[in-house]
C-alpha cells in the first residue's frame, strides 16, 4: 500500500486494522516491521495520501477498491486441521465489507488463499449486498521479505484474476490502471480468478521444491564425499535450471512456503488427487528431515551430547534483512538442542529477546493465530460480560 501511495500520488490509500497498537506503531517513528527501504517510502507519503487508521468501517465505506490482506493461517483443529487454510478472518472481513458498504466496490484478495475462495467470498458479499455490486479480483503478492520494496518497484509480474464477464473485465482494468502508473504493461498478467489464486500457491510450491531438492542432494553429498556447493553450482549453470534457490541450507522457513504447500496438499486431496498431494507433501518432509539431520550432526560432532554445553546461535529470523521469525528453521534447531539440555546464546540484530522466548515456547501454527484476533464465541462474550 505504501508503494502504491508513492507511485500514485493521485490515489488516497488508507491502511486499516482492528489492532490499535499496530496502527499506533505505523503512525510512529518506529515502524512495527523491519524491511530495507520501507521507512523512506512510508515517511514520504504518510499524512499526504497514505493514512493508517483503526476506523475500519469509515475507510472501507469510502473506498472504491478494498484490498483484503488478513491472515489465512493453517487450521489447528476441525476439518483439514494441520493442512487446510483457516478462512475465519477472511470471512469476517467480507461480512464487515458487506455490512458497511453504501456504494459499488472492487474487493481484492491480497492474502494467499485456497483456490475457489473468491466464490465463497462472492456469496457472502452478494447475499448481504443490499443491491450493491461487488466485483472480486485475485491479486496475489509475489514480493519476498528482505527485498520487498525493490520487488514492488520492479516486479517480475503483477497478476490480476477476475471474472470473465463485462463487469469482471472492467474491474480488472481499474486495478490494472493503478499498477500501470509504474509497471510496464507487458508485466501485468490478467487471468481468470482460479488461475490467479492457484498461481500463487504453485509459485511458492515450486520455490520450496527447489530448496528441498538441493537439501536432499546435500545429504547424498555428505554421504558420498561430494561437495554440495560444487554440485549446485554445476547444476545451476544449466540455463534451463538457473542458479537461484539452489543454496543448501538448514531448510526453508517463513510464513508462506510450508503453509501454502500444506494448503495445496489439502486441495489436491479434496479434489481426489492423492498422488499429487503426496508429491507435494514430500517437499515438507525433506524440509523437516533436513532440520532434524542438522541437529543430529551438531550433537554427533560433540561426542553425542550437548548437555550443559554452551552453543551460540547467530541469526534467528528465517532469512537475512528481516525480523520475521515465522516458521524459522532456527526454532526447530534450538528446540532440538534444548531437548538435549544445551545452553544456548541466541543473537539476531532484528529480533527481540521477547520474540525469541515466545517462539521457543509456542506450539506449531499458533504464531499465525494471534489471540486478539480470535473471533468471539458466544460463550467467550458471555464470560466477558459476567
The C-alpha cell of 91 is what?
A: 470471512
Q: Helix (H, G, I), strand (E, B), or coil: what is residue 150?
A: helix
Q: Which of 256, 268, 334, 386 is catalytic?
A: 256
Helix, strand, coil percentages (3-state) for the chain, rounded to 5, are 50, 10, 40
Sequence-ordered list of residues with C-beta below 8 angstroms from that of 369, at least 6 positions apart, any chain:
71, 73, 76, 86
CA distance 82 to 88: 15
The helix/strand/coil state of 209 is: helix
Q: What is the DSSP string of 313-350?
A: EE--SSSTT----TT-HHHHHHHHHHHTT-EEEEE-TT
Nearest by Cα to 343 from 333, 352, 334, 356: 334
> Helices 257-270 and 193-224: crossing angle, nearest 10°?
110
Closest CA to 68 of 58, 76, 60, 79: 60
Instruction: Indicate if 334 belongs to the active site.
Output: no
Instruction: Kindly state the helix (H) or strand (E) to which residue 172 belongs, with its residue range.
Output: helix 166-179
- What positions carry a catalytic annotation? 256
Amino acid at each position: 500500500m505504501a508503494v502504491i501511495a508513492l507511485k500514485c500520488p493521485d490515489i488516497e490509500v488508507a491502511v486499516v486494522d482492528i489492532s490499535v497498537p499496530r496502527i499506533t506503531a505505523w503512525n510512529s517513528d518506529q515502524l512495527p516491521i523491519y524491511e530495507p527501504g520501507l521507512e523512506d517510502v512510508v515517511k514520504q507519503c504518510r499524512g499526504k495520501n497514505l493514512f493508517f487508521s483503526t476506523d475500519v468501517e469509515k475507510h472501507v465505506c469510502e473506498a472504491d477498491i478494498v484490498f483484503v490482506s488478513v491472515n489465512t493461517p493453517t487450521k489447528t483443529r476441525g476439518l483439514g486441521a494441520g493442512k487446510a487454510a483457516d478462512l475465519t478472518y477472511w470471512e469476517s472481513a467480507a461480512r464487515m465489507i458487506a455490512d458497511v458498504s453504501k456504494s459499488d466496490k472492487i474487493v481484492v484478495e491480497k492474502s494467499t488463499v485456497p483456490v475457489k475462495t473468491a466464490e465463497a467470498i462472492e456469496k457472502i458479499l452478494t447475499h448481504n449486498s443490499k443491491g450493491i455490486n461487488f466485483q472480486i479480483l485475485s491479486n496475489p503478492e509475489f514480493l519476498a521479505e528482505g527485498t520487498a520494496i525493490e520487488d514492488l518497484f520492479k516486479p517480475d509480474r503483477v497478476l490480476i484474476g477476475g471474472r470473465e464477464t463485462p463487469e469482471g473485465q472492467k474491474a480488472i482494468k481499474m486495478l490494472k490502471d493503478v499498477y500501470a502508473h509504474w509497471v510496464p504493461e507487458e508485466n501485468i498478467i490478467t487471468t481468470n480468478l482460479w488461475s490467479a489464486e492457484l498461481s500463487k500457491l504453485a509459485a511458492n510450491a515450486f520455490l520450496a521444491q527447489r530448496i528441498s531438492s538441493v537439501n536432499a542432494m546435500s545429504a547424498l553429498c555428505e554421504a558420498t564425499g561430494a561437495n554440495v556447493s560444487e554440485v549446485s553450482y554445476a547444476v545451476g549453470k544449466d540455463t534451463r535450471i538457473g542458479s537461484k534457490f539452489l543454496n543448501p541450507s538448514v531448510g526453508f522457513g517463513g510464513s508462506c512456503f510450508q503453509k501454502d504447500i500444506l494448503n495445496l496438499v489439502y486441495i489436491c486431496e479434496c479434489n481426489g488427487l492423492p498422488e499429487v498431494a503426496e508429491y507435494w507433501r514430500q517437499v515438507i518432509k525433506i524440509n523437516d528431515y533436513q532440520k532434524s539431520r542438522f541437529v543430529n550432526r551438531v550433537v554427533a560432532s560433540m561426542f553425542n551430547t550437548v548437555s550443559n554445553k554452551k552453543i551460540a546461535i547467530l541469526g534467528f529470523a528465517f532469512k537475512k534483512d528481516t525480523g520475521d521469525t515465522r516458521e524459522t528453521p532456527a526454532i526447530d534447531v534450538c528446540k532440538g538442542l534444548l531437548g538435549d539440555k544445551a545452553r544456548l546464546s541466541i543473537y539476531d540484530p532484528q529480533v527481540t529477546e521477547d520474540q525469541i522466548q515466545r517462539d521457543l515456547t509456542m506450539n506449531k501454527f499458533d504464531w499465525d493465530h494471534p489471540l486478539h484476533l480470535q473471533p468471539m464465541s458466544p460463550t467467550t462474550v458471555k464470560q466477558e460480560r459476567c
